[in-house]
Amino acid sequence: MSTQSNEAGMVLLEVEFTGGLELLFSNQRKHKISLPGSDEKGQPATAAFLVRYLCENLMKDTRKEMFVMDGTVRPGILVLINDADWELEGGDLYELKENDNFFFISTLHGG
Amino acid sequence: MEQDEDVDMTATSSPSLLKRNASNSSGDHDSKISAGLDQEAMEEEESNRRERAVMERIEQEASAKLDEEIRQEEKMNRKERAAREQLEQEIIEDKEGEEREQLNIEEKEMLLMDKAISVLPSLPYFHHHIISKRRRLDGGHGMVDDVPDVSLFKNTIQTLESVIERLKSDLTRMEAAHARGSAELGRWWQESKEKTRIELKEWMKLPSRKAGKAEDQDSRPSYRQSKYQKYGRQMCMPEIGFDGQIKLTKSKVLIVGLGGLGCPAAGYLARAGVGTLGLVDGDTVETSNLHRQTLYLEEDVGQSKVLTAYGRLRQMNSRIHYERYDYRLTPEKAPKLFDQYDVILDCTDRQSSRYFISDAAVVTRKPLVHASALGTMGQFMVLNNPPSLIDGNAHQGPCYRCIFPKPMRPENSRSCAEAGVLGPVVGVMGIVMAMEAIKLITQPNSTPWYMIYNAYSKEPFKMLNLNRKNQNCVACSEKCTITRELLESGSLDYDEFCGGRINYDVLEDHQRMSVRDCKRLMDSKPQEHVLVDVRDKVQFDIGHVKGSINLPISTIYQSPDAGLGALGQELDFQPTLGKNPTVHFICRYGNDSRLALRQILDSQRIREHGTLDYGRRRYLMGMDVIGGYDAWRKEIDPWLPDY
């Protein structure tokens, strides 16, 4: 199944950061972004591509390790795709669809 | 039935008499040899007969009155009887010594007690009879007196021995007073009698007679009534009901951490009437806790959290049992402690404790209610529910490690001290924990769930489907490597696992100075030195060192070079500075300022030029201020806010 993209070959997504991650993204929780429907190698854009894309284009902070580690989101971040655990959706390999909602939550330990 | 009782009674209450009778008959035999002994034997038999008569009368009285109780008991219908048994069981378990529901029983037993004391030698048997009869009344096992309770007997002898020891010392004192002709003698006699009475009553575990008498029977509701009144509003909920309330009354809940989560959770659970509430915390109350930790008052600052909480909770509900653990929980101690409870609440505030509490809950097979809060956000989960590895339970709930197999690095995790936290946010999470604990106790089959709370979001509560049972989990799967033995051995280093501490040691010693040295520099050559505060703007606005400039560390992290640009621009407006000023860095405690200076020294601009050239000036990068704003406030300017 190929990534659903619009006529211009772009996918429109909503990404949301919470649990402190918003600090890495201009202190803004919700972002509407548009990214290419296929990755660097011409393959359909996946969640892994989205994470790379966010790191390179949306994240201004220099501390990339606060968001990614070993090529995927760092430990302690939960990712939900349309409110469902991304592990159930294939994780990194999930292929992006138009209007998907990605929710990144960094876990907290305070009490 | 009565017949049975009587047979029972004679059989068990008279072993000593039987023995004496046996020796009497041998005395009769000896009479052929000595007529004098005959007379002695007759006298002894006569006294035995009298003693036996007294005992039989007392025992018959006791038996008849207690039998009457049993008959009353059997008239009650089944349901009421079950309820009554439950409640009577609770009364006996109640360590505070509550008023007996039926004062009649108490009065009669007291009367019997007083008489029993007058026939001291048969007391062990009499005691055994009363206790075993009461056990049967309370729905216990077996016939009255059918099996002699050796440990009870031994305990009785020991108690009597200690009473006699004290009587001996009383006697010595009274003898001395008697010899002196002291007027105190009468008082001491009364005192000794009263002490004996109290000690024996304590041993018989009967409530104090005075307490019972002092209360007006009509104006004071019975124990049971007060219980219905106290829990009535929740008992009449179909979700709880009578059965649910009994489950709560029998439940044992452990709260680990008495901070912003633990305080409201403990309060609601105490009020709901859980049977036992365990409280664990090794901290003392600090002023900065008061805005969110609802069990503490201003006057408690510096006091133990556990002991203070215990005092407050007892004021909320004195009828439940509390266990106090006034220490910081460690992985070694956790399993043994968790064994004693039904539900565990993780109200701690560190990642390492989150992991070992989850591991301990898995090995002890206890459901774990987990929540955390920071800033304006809270997170909530029910973990290990249903508990793990029971006959390869297919529906076993995920544990903390299933969801977070790898810990996050300490620099990604902020504490309440760094990031701040709102009282109601953490309070909401604590209250949700209490609610979930009540659900786990009353309806154990509730499914696990995950919820996040964002106080400032348009959708404050968000439910997440987090079905993440990890089939390869190191803690709770069949392939697990974390065992109870390993946990208890103390060989698992959870701090190490969680990445230890952030390395702030990124500067040379000559790159750091004390607040006093800094103050001296600023005062002596104000044109040549400038102080940059890297806290965020909100904190800077609460209070800052006079003359310092704000450059939040987040700006530096976003781009050290851009940060330097912003700094140059800001400093350009400072008319008092000289041509080549030196820039020093300060933060709250002297940690972030080191990281900030390191970032700046490592930036392309400084690495290539060594200085920041901006406008008319050339800035040199100076030092970090040890201890930061906090040390400045303590040593230089006590008027700065201690926020």
**pLDDT band at residue B324 under the 50/70/90 scheme:** very high
Task: Tell me what the mean pLDDT of segment A43-69 comes to.
Answer: 90
Burial class (CB in 10 A: 0-12, 13-18, 19+), B579: exposed
Higher-confidence residue of B253 and B483: namely: B253
B476 within 8 A of B388, measured Cβ to Cβ = yes
Task: Tell me what the mean pLDDT of segment B473-500 comes to.
Answer: 88
Percent of chain B with pLDDT over 90: 42
Task: Provide the pLDDT for residue B334.
Answer: 96
Task: Provide the pLDDT for residue B34.
Answer: 54
Task: Tell me what the mean pLDDT of segment B146-159 comes to.
Answer: 74
Task: Tell me what the mean pLDDT of segment B497-522 comes to.
Answer: 89
Distances (CA, A) of B135 to B79, B143, B216: 20, 10, 28
3-state SS string for B326-384:
CCCCCCCCHHHHHHCCCEEEECCCCHHHHHHHHHHHHHCCCCEEEEEEEECEEEEEEEC
**Alpha carbons A17 and A28: distance in angstroms, whole number:** 8
**Is B464 in CB contact (< 8 Å) with chain A?**
yes
Higher-confidence residue of B284 and B449: namely: B284
| Dihedral Cα A10, A11, A14, A16, nearest 10 deg | -90
Structure tokens at B496: 């190490």
Contacts of A17 in chain B (CB under 8 A): none
Higher-confidence residue of B528 and B49: namely: B528
Higher-confidence residue of B588 and B157: namely: B588
**Alpha carbons B526 and B426: distance in angstroms, whole number:** 45
Task: Provide the pLDDT for residue B214.
Answer: 39
Q: Give strand pairing partners of A84.
A: A81, B465
For the ranges B51-65, B203-217, B430-444, B628-642, the lowest mean pLDDT is seen at B203-217
Task: Provide the pLDDT for residue B271.
Answer: 97
Higher-confidence residue of A5 and B473: namely: B473
Question: Model confidence over B440-480: pLDDT tens digits?
Answer: 999 876 566 789 999 998 889 988 877 778 888 899 888 88
- Alpha-carbon gap: B557 to the closest alpha carbon of chain A (Å): 5
Contact A111 B466 (CB under 8 A): no
Sketch out chain B's domains with CATH numbers.
Answer: 2-214 (no CATH), 251-497 (3.40.50.720), 509-635 (3.40.250.10)
Whether pLDDT at B175 is above 90: no
- Alpha-carbon gap: A51 to the closest alpha carbon of chain B (Å): 18
Our answer to whether residue B416 is catalytic in this structure is yes
**Alpha carbons B373 and B419: distance in angstroms, whole number:** 11
CA quadruple B52, B56, B62, B67: dihedral positive or negative?
positive
Task: Tell me what the mean pLDDT of segment B96-123 comes to.
Answer: 65
**Alpha carbons B518 and B539: distance in angstroms, whole number:** 21
**DSSP state letters, B378-446:** EEEEEES-SPTTSSS-TTPPP-HHHH-SSPPPGGG---HHHH-B-HHHHHHHHHHHHHHHHHHHH-TTP
Contact B378 A87 (CB under 8 A): no
Contacts of A18 in chain B (CB under 8 A): 377, 452, 454
Task: Provide the pLDDT for residue B386.
Answer: 84
Q: How far is CA B484 from the centre of its chain?
A: 22
Element holding A33 (H helix, E strand): strand A30-36
| Closest by Cβ to A85, choosing from B260, B349, B465 | B465
Short-list B334, B316, B317, B313, CA closest to B325: B334
Higher-confidence residue of A6 and B385: namely: B385
Q: Which amino acid is at B539?
A: Q
Task: Provide the pLDDT for residue B1.
Answer: 39
- What letter does residue B218 receive in the DSSP assignment? T
**Alpha carbons B464 and B441: distance in angstroms, whole number:** 23
Pairing of strands A77-81, A84-85: antiparallel
Burial class (CB in 10 A: 0-12, 13-18, 19+), B233: exposed
Task: Provide the pLDDT for residue B207.
Answer: 36
**DSSP state letters, B232-279:** HHHHTSTTTHHHHHHHHHH-EEEEE--STTHHHHHHHHHHHT-SEEEE
Whether pLDDT at B25 is above 50: no
B409 within 8 A of B402, measured Cβ to Cβ = no
Percent of chain B with pLDDT over 70: 78
Contacts of A77 in chain B (CB under 8 A): 408
**pLDDT band at residue B512 under the 50/70/90 scheme:** very high
Task: Provide the pLDDT for residue B393.
Answer: 56
Task: Tell me what the mean pLDDT of segment A10-16 comes to.
Answer: 94
**Is B412 in CB contact (< 8 Å) with chain A?**
yes
The angle that helices B241-250 and B423-442 make with each other, rounded to 10 degrees, is 110
Question: Model confidence over B33-60: pLDDT tens digits?
Answer: 555 556 767 777 777 788 778 777 877 8
**Is B379 in CB contact (< 8 Å) with chain A?**
yes
Higher-confidence residue of B322 and B501: namely: B322
So where are chain A's domains?
10-106
Contact B349 A85 (CB under 8 A): no
Contacts of B257 in chain A (CB under 8 A): 111
Which class does domain A10-106 fall in?
alpha beta
Higher-confidence residue of B303 and B221: namely: B303
Answer whether the bond into residue A36 is a cis peptide, omega within 30°. no
Which listed residue (B416, B480, B498, B518) is catalytic? B416
Task: Tell me what the mean pLDDT of segment A43-57 comes to.
Answer: 92
Contact A83 B404 (CB under 8 A): no
In chain A, which residue's Cα lies nearest the Cα of B554?
A61
Percent of chain A with pLDDT over 90: 53
Structure tokens at B493: 């280093």
Give the mean pLDDT of chain B.
82
Distances (CA, A) of B606 to A62, B46, B506: 17, 113, 16
Match 């979930």 to its residue by tokens.
Answer: B436
Task: Provide the pLDDT for residue A70.
Answer: 84
Contacts of A63 in chain B (CB under 8 A): 557
Whether pLDDT at B314 is above 70: yes
What ranges make up the beta strands (E) of B441-533? 450-454, 461-464, 512-513, 529-533
Distances (CA, A) of B439 to B429, B444, B606: 15, 7, 60
Structure tokens at B238: 């179909």
Task: Provide the pLDDT for residue B6.
Answer: 40
- Alpha-carbon gap: A44 to the closest alpha carbon of chain B (Å): 26
